Amino acid sequence: MRVAHRFLVGVLACALSAQAARADDLPELGDVASNELSLAMEKKIGQQIMNEIRWREPSYLDDPDIENYLDQLGGRLVAVSNDPGMGFQFFAINDPSINAFAMPGGFIGVHTGLILAAQTESELAGVLAHEISHVTQRHIARQVFQSKKLSMASMLAMGLALLAARSNPQAAGAAMTTSQAAAISAQLAFSRDFERESDRLGFDILRQAGYDVRGMSAFFERLQQNSRLYENNATAYLRTHPLTGERLSDMQNREQPVAYRQVADSQEFQLVRARVRAMQGRPAEAIRDFETLLRERKYSSEASARYGLAVAYVRKGDWTAAERELQAVRKLKPSLAMVDRLLAEVKIARGEKEAGMQLYREAMVRYPHNLALLYGYGNALVAERKFAEALRFVDEQLQNYPRDTRFYRMRAESYAGLGRRSQQHLALAEMSLLKGQTAGAIEQLQLAQQAGDANFYEMSVIDGRLREMKKRQLEEMKERQN
């Protein structure tokens, strides 16, 4: 794992594992924590760290299909949690280690290694439910209240500094010797209470969401057993979430009164695992692995195995073979958004552009809120230089997703294709703002002013946004000084 990312995850995980009251005598939500750190401030800090991960961390996995699945799975769990109004966002990290981590503000990262290690969807859901509980119980805010040695500002500064130093191990190592880092590390001895609380609440979330409650303990127990086989080689998850025999016994005791019922994995879970597996190593190796699985029938789902093979063929650029496998998947499972999206992409790549666009349109009728499909269709319109149509489509989507940077990028590309430079720069300014780059937004707005093709109304909007951004920049400078 890259030094910067490993340290950022460690910082956040350690903060979650800080000193607390016993799990049975925990303060009510919004009691102690809200007096020290508001929900809004916690969200702002988390968003700033998330911006750094999304735009500067190479291991961030920008894959709409995987992200869409994690958001759906996480959303189902959050819906039955005691979310205090934080709101959640789930994202993937391209890292083979088995880990997941919660950040301030409801941002939860999932390593691809964890997705592959989970043998059932209930196991993956169990880990996410545990992380969700860290957030809903506001463990970070409560740690700040109980330990004056560590401020949220210093934690944010450390995380961002280490991301910037990801290519310089000496700088990263030096940062870890600071007093702030030592303060965080000192909290590890008090991790059990927060972990126990997250186990208990995560179990309830898992049960209410309709997953197999035995998934949580089954996954943790398997991790512990595997770690014992290799001395001093505990998984990343166990290093950041220490698992004691007492915790495991508590999980298993909670399961006893719950009647057993088998919970089938969703087809999306199987497809996502196949997709992640197909993205590992070289394309030729991935093709060989999936062909072996299919030939020897060593798969839990033929549809997902063929989908994984299709993904591997796409990586190789073999569009004919990819379409063959995807058509075979559609015979087994006629309606799957991930399959339809990839097939549309393949057809367009093969030159069957109208057929591909029609596939997108049909799939969006069946899955109107699937962001991977929406992104794919919008990008295809831009690529085919249908800029006016792309602009109408993107503006419709921004009504539902006003903070989506991908749609703002498509809007900028559409305006550029239409030759409307002022509006192109305005869209880029809004995208920069959502990334947390106020200075970049100001620069784009100034370019919009200078473009010379805006009408009176458009120029008024640009001027107004520029005043807002300059005011925001001054406020941010004051915050940093304080």
Structure tokens at 110: 């999932």
pLDDT exceeds cutoff 50 at 92: yes
Q: Which residues are paired to 287 by β-bridges? A: none
Please tell me the predicted confidence (pLDDT) of residue 176: 43
Residue 207 has which token pair?
């049960």
The two three-digit tokens of residue 155, written as one number: 């934690």
Alpha carbon separation from 462 to 38, 407, 465, 470 (Å, rounded): 32, 19, 5, 12
Least confident of 9-13, 56-60, 109-113: 9-13
Higher pLDDT, 18 or 37: 37
- Residue with the larger pLDDT of the pair 423 and 86: 423
31 confidence band (pLDDT: 50, 70, 90): very low
Instruction: Please report which confidence band the pLDDT of residue 306 belongs to, taking 50, 70 and 90 as the band edges.
Output: very high
| Whether pLDDT at 279 is above 90 | yes
Residue 274: pLDDT above 80?
Answer: yes
Contact residues for 382 (Cβ-Cβ < 8 A; gap 6+): 390, 410, 413, 414, 417
Please indicate whether residue 143 or residue 408 has the higher confidence score (pLDDT). 408
Residue 184's pLDDT is 43
Give the pLDDT mean for 233-246: 63
Is the pLDDT score of 472 beyond 90?
Answer: yes
Half-sphere exposure of residue 75: CA atoms within 13 angstroms, side-chain side: 7
Pairing of β 89-93 and β 100-103: unpaired
Per cent of the chain over pLDDT 70 is 77
* Helix, coil or strand: residue 93: strand
3-state secondary structure of 218: helix
Close Cβ partners of 114 (under 8 Å, ≥ 6 residues apart) = 98, 99, 100, 124, 127, 237
Is the model's pLDDT at 185 over the cut of 80? no
3-state helix, strand, coil in the chain (%, to 5): 70, 5, 25
pLDDT of residue 83: 81
Alpha-carbon torsion 312, 315, 319, 320, what sign?
negative
pLDDT at site 103 = 83
**The pLDDT value given to residue 237:** 64
Q: Which residue would you say has higher pLDDT here, 301 or 13?
A: 301
Give pLDDT, residue 163. Answer: 44
Name the percent of the chain lying above pLDDT 90: 58
User: Once rounded to an integer, what is the mean pLDDT over residues 120-131?
Assistant: 94
Rounded to an integer, the average pLDDT of 3-30 is: 39
